[in-house]
């Protein structure tokens, strides 16, 4: 038995580790460092209907134990992703989770309908939480009614299960989770970045051209852990968690808080070998801790009244 | 091939105001092919500072498996300030070599190359100049700095060829910008290579528009390997507005008139 294997809606994962969307492009760059088939899954860069250049530069700024980014959903557009990026990824034995973004409800529906037909796309990740674009994105992710509606409409056209990526920039992320669950979501991914800003000390101007950016990295992990802990106890949906994962013990924390799988974002920039290293360390942990399965850890932070839904393979 | 390696500090010293010279040893040096490539340096383990720092390669010593880089400390409490405190014998984690450097085989023996650098854009021109002169190419260096106290490597460049310094405040060399020196040059240039702040690159590209040249771009980076799209730039003549080049992996060196500086 593979003690790291996990079954989630649409996804048979060799292990619970996958690179987070926006931190891994479409995989090409990282394929020079290791075999992408080692990964549990790949969450590819957000895809929109038309090609987007994204925001002006500077697009990133480092902060204490974190970084701000405002890339602005730069991507080559749906047609190019379907014709080039996804076919290229078929050489690897790894399920693809396609991150879908747009400015209007129709954009999301159009992209979801097409991209969900790609043979290696096993699930969608609805990006209703990008903080760095003016239209769409976060506008869908801060109002429960809109989020529920969008989820339901995308579910109607998608050939594969739909996960919704939640924003932490809301009063109640649990309310958002329950809304998309009602809309028919098959799972949740959380959290997207926290909106932040860094100023130039000399001029006082924001460093990022977009002024605000999304905060990621170890600095946001406590926030994300708290949110996963709360949401996982209120919904039956499986959670793929992300936020500041640097090593296997961060993964243990997220599983303990109630997640079923974990994505690695910013750490890929710090160490391009981060994902395979974490997977290897998780294998050691299940042995050393004598776990039958890595998901034995799931929800152990909840206390004796917590409920658990098992997704072990 | 890109490697990740803990490299040992064999020498580390301040050579001008806020400017440090750091020499590292390790087999990763053998992977360095062309001048103008850079390395991505993790200064400390852990999350502070979190990201790597892209620093250009200044000179490569294959025989001793070591290379030298120059960097500017950007402020107190910055990652580069932490780096500047590391002593001989310590290790730093290096990812590299990254990016595409300057081609050195475009000019023939006896031809003349103009190398124009500004501030912390000067260092990669040093290894380039060594390679060009070893091929018999005549080099002319024009190096621009803010003021005298941040001038570095004048002797090193002078040993390889004609070298002119310009300072904005006139405290050293020609008062003004590198383009002021270019205006005074009375020589036929067969090719140019430039690295420095964007306004300087723009001015040089414009001034030398009749000459083939190579431009090394600088931009804030995330991953350094082409995945995060933090360091993109527009492409000249692109009407769609969506074409782009990544400074880290398509560059940092581009043929002139390719990217929007």
Strand partners, A312: A6
Q: Which of B72, B98, B124 is the last residue of a domain?
A: B98
Kindly state whether A201 is in contact with chain B, defined as any CB-CB distance less than 8 angstroms. Answer: yes
User: Residue B43's closest chain A neighbor by CA?
Assistant: A270
**Of residues B44, B58, B8, the one with CA closest to residue B28:** B8
Q: How far is B133 from chain A (nearest CA, A)?
A: 34
A88: alpha, beta or left? (left if phi > 0; alpha if psi -120 to 50): alpha
- ∠A7-A11-A16 over CA atoms, to 5°? 65
**Confidence label for A311 from pLDDT (cuts 50, 70 and 90):** low
B138 & B54 share domain:
no
pLDDT at A36 over 60: yes
pLDDT at B82 over 70: yes
Q: What is the pLDDT averaged over residues B4-23?
A: 98
Angle between helices A221-232 and A248-257 (to 10 degrees): 30
The DSSP 8-state label assigned to residue A1 in this structure reads: -
Q: How far apart are CA A16 and CA A124, in angstroms?
A: 17
pLDDT at A129: 85
pLDDT at A312 over 80: no
Domain interval for residue B255? 218-260
**Predicted confidence (pLDDT) per residue in B197-216, tens digit:** 999 999 999 999 999 999 99
Q: Is residue B233 marked as binding?
A: no
B115 & B207 share domain:
yes
Contact indicator for A293, A3 with CB cutoff of 8 Å: yes
**Confidence label for B75 from pLDDT (cuts 50, 70 and 90):** confident
Q: Which two tokens stand for residue A16?
A: 């619970």
Q: How far apart are CA A244 and CA A224, in angstroms?
A: 8
**Of residues B156, B138, B155, B151, the one with CA closest to residue B192:** B138
Counting the structural domains of chain B, the total is 3
B88 & B194 share domain:
no
Residues 6 or more apart from A290 whose CB is under 8 A from it? none
What is the count of residue pairs from A and B with beta carbons less than 8 Å apart? 103
> B247: domain CATH number?
2.10.240.10
The DSSP 8-state label assigned to residue A166 in this structure reads: P
Residues 6 or more apart from B206 whose CB is under 8 A from it? none
pLDDT at B97: 98
Residues of A marked as binding for substrate? 45, 69-73, 127, 192-193
User: Residue A207's closest chain B neighbor by CA?
Assistant: B220
Q: How would CATH label the architecture of A6-55+72-193+217-297?
A: Alpha-Beta Barrel (3.20)
Q: Tell me which of B69 and A307 has the higher pLDDT.
A: B69
Kindly state whether A65 is in contact with chain B, defined as any CB-CB distance less than 8 angstroms. Answer: yes
Residues in chain B: 261
Average pLDDT, chain B: 96
- ∠B173-B175-B179 over CA atoms, to 5°? 100
Which has the minimum average pLDDT: A195-204, A266-275, A299-308, B91-100? A299-308
Asked if B229's CB is within 8 angstroms of A54's CB, the reply is yes
* Chain-centroid distance, C-alpha B172: 22
pLDDT at A313: 58
A191 cis-preceded (ω within 30 degrees of 0): yes
B133 & B165 share domain:
yes
User: Residue A32's closest chain B neighbor by CA?
Assistant: B2
Provide the 3-class DSSP secondary structure of residue B62.
coil
Phi and psi torsions of B197, nearest 5° = -65, 150
Asked if A69's CB is within 8 angstroms of B228's CB, the reply is yes
The DSSP element (H or E) to which B83 belongs, if any, is helix B79-84
B72 & B131 share domain:
no
Q: Sheet harboring B253-255: ordered strands across? A: B174-175, B162-167, B138-145, B112-118, B191-195, B213-216, B253-255
Q: How far apart are CA A76 and CA A284, in angstroms?
A: 39
HSE, CB side, 13 Å, CA atoms: give it for residue B165. Answer: 21
pLDDT at A305: 61
Per CB-CB distance under 8 Å, the chain B contacts of A65 are 47-48, 50
pLDDT at A309 over 70: no
pLDDT at B6 over 80: yes
User: Residue B241's closest chain A neighbor by CA?
Assistant: A53
Asked if B52's CB is within 8 angstroms of A61's CB, the reply is no
pLDDT at B132 over 60: yes
DSSP B89-155: T-EEEEEEEESB---SSSS-TT-EEEEEEEGGGSTHHHHHHHHHHHTT-EEEEEEEESSGGG---HH
Asked if A52's CB is within 8 angstroms of B49's CB, the reply is no
**Confidence label for A132 from pLDDT (cuts 50, 70 and 90):** confident
Q: Which of B70, B98, B126 is the last residue of a domain?
A: B98
pLDDT at A17: 98
By annotation, the residues of A acting in catalysis are 130
**Confidence label for B135 from pLDDT (cuts 50, 70 and 90):** very high
Q: Is residue B54 marked as binding?
A: yes
Asked if B222's CB is within 8 angstroms of A67's CB, the reply is yes
pLDDT at A131 over 80: no
Which of A54, A71, A218 has its CB closest to that of B50? A218
Contact indicator for B118, B198 with CB cutoff of 8 Å: no
Percent of chain A with pLDDT over 90: 92
**Confidence label for A122 from pLDDT (cuts 50, 70 and 90):** very high
pLDDT at A306: 59
**Confidence label for A189 from pLDDT (cuts 50, 70 and 90):** very high
Q: How far apart are CA B155 and CA B163, in angstroms?
A: 9
Which of A57, A74, A218 has its CB closest to that of B220? A57
**Predicted confidence (pLDDT) per residue in A19-30, tens digit:** 999 999 999 999
Per CB-CB distance under 8 Å, the chain A contacts of B47 are 65-66, 217-219, 246
pLDDT at A308 over 90: no
Q: Which two tokens stand for residue A90?
A: 């078929």
Per CB-CB distance under 8 Å, the chain A contacts of B4 are 271-273
Asked if B223's CB is within 8 angstroms of A272's CB, the reply is yes
B94 & B125 share domain:
no
Contact indicator for A43, A94 with CB cutoff of 8 Å: no
Per CB-CB distance under 8 Å, the chain B contacts of A271 are 4, 42
> B161: domain CATH number?
3.40.50.80
B142: alpha, beta or left? (left if phi > 0; alpha if psi -120 to 50): beta
Strand partners, A69: A60, A214
Residues 6 or more apart from B46 whose CB is under 8 A from it? none
* Chain-centroid distance, C-alpha A48: 16
Residue given tokens 């294959």 in the structure block: B62
Residues of A marked as binding for FMN? 21, 45-46, 99, 127, 165, 191, 217, 243-244, 265-266
B71 & B164 share domain:
no
Kindly state whether A59 is in contact with chain B, defined as any CB-CB distance less than 8 angstroms. Answer: yes
Q: How far apart are CA A167 and CA A243, in angstroms?
A: 12
Q: Which two tokens stand for residue A154?
A: 């995308």
Interface with A, mutate which of B4, B223, B261 (most A CBs under 10 A): B223
pLDDT at B76: 78
């Amino acid at each position: 038995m593979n003690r790291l294997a996990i079954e989630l809606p649409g996804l048979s994962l060799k292990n619970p580790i996958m690179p987070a969307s926006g931190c891994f492009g479409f995989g090409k760059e990282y394929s020079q460092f290791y075999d992408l088939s080692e990964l549990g899954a790949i969450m590819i860069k957000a895809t929109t209907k038309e090609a987007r250049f994204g925001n002006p530069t500077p697009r990133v700024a480092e902060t204490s134990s974190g970084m701000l980014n405002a890339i602005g959903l730069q991507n080559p557009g749906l047609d190019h992703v379907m014709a080039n990026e996804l076919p290229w990824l078929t050489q690897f034995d790894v399920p693809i989770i396609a991150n879908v973004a747009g400015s209007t409800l129709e954009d999301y529906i159009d992209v979801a309908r097409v991209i969900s037909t790609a043979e290696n796309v096993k699930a969608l990740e609805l990006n209703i939480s990008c903080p760095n674009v003016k239209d769409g994105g976060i506008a869908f992710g801060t109002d429960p009614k809109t989020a529920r509606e969008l989820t339901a409409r995308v579910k109607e056209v998608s050939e594969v299960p739909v996960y919704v990526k939640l924003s932490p920039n809301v009063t109640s992320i649990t309310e958002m989770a329950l809304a998309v669950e009602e809309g028919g979501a098959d799972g949740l991914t959380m959290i997207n970045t926290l909106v932040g800003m860094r100023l130039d000390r000399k001029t006082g101007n924001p460093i990022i051209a977009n002024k605000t950016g999304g905060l990621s990295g170890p600095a946001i992990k406590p926030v994300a852990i708290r949110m996963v802990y709360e949401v996982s106890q209120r919904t039956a949906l499986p959670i793929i968690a992300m936020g500041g994962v640097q090593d296997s013990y961060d993964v243990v924390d997220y599983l303990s808080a109630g997640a079923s799988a974990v994505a690695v974002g910013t750490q890929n920039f710090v160490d391009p070998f981060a994902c395979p290293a974490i997977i290897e360390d998780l294998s050691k942990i299940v042995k050393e801790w004598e776990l039958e399965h890595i998901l034995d850890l799931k929800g152990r932070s909840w206390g004796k009244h917590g409920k658990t839904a098992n997704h072990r393979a | 091939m890109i490697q990740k390696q803990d490299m040992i500090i064999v020498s580390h010293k301040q050579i001008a105001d806020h400017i440090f010279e750091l020499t590292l040893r390790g087999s990763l040096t053998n992977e360095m092919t062309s001048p103008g490539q850079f390395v991505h340096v993790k200064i400390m383990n852990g999350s502070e500072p979190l990201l790597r720092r892209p620093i250009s390669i200044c000179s490569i010593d294959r025989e001793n498996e070591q290379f030298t880089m120059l960097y500017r400390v950007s402020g107190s409490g910055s990652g580069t300030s932490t780096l500047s405190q590391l002593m001989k014998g310590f290790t730093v984690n290096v990812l590299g070599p990254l990016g595409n450097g300057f081609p050195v085989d475009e000019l023939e023996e006896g031809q003349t190359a103009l190398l124009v650098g500004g501030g912390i854009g000067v260092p990669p021109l040093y290894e380039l100049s060594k390679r060009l002169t070893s091929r018999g190419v005549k080099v002319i260096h024009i190096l621009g700095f803010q003021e005298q106290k941040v001038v570095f490597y004048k002797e090193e460049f002078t040993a390889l060829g004609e070298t002119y310094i310009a300072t904005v405040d006139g405290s050293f060399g020609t008062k003004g910008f590198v383009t002021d020196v270019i205006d005074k040059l009375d020589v036929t240039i067969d090719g140019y290579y430039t690295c420095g702040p964007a306004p300087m690159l723009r001015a040089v590209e414009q001034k030398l528009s009749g000459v083939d040249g190579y431009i090394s771009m600088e931009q804030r980076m995330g991953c350094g390997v082409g995945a995060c799209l933090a360091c993109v730039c527009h492409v000249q003549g692109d009407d769609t507005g969506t074409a782009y080049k990544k400074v880290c992996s398509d560059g940092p060196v581009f043929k002139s008139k390719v990217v929007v500086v």
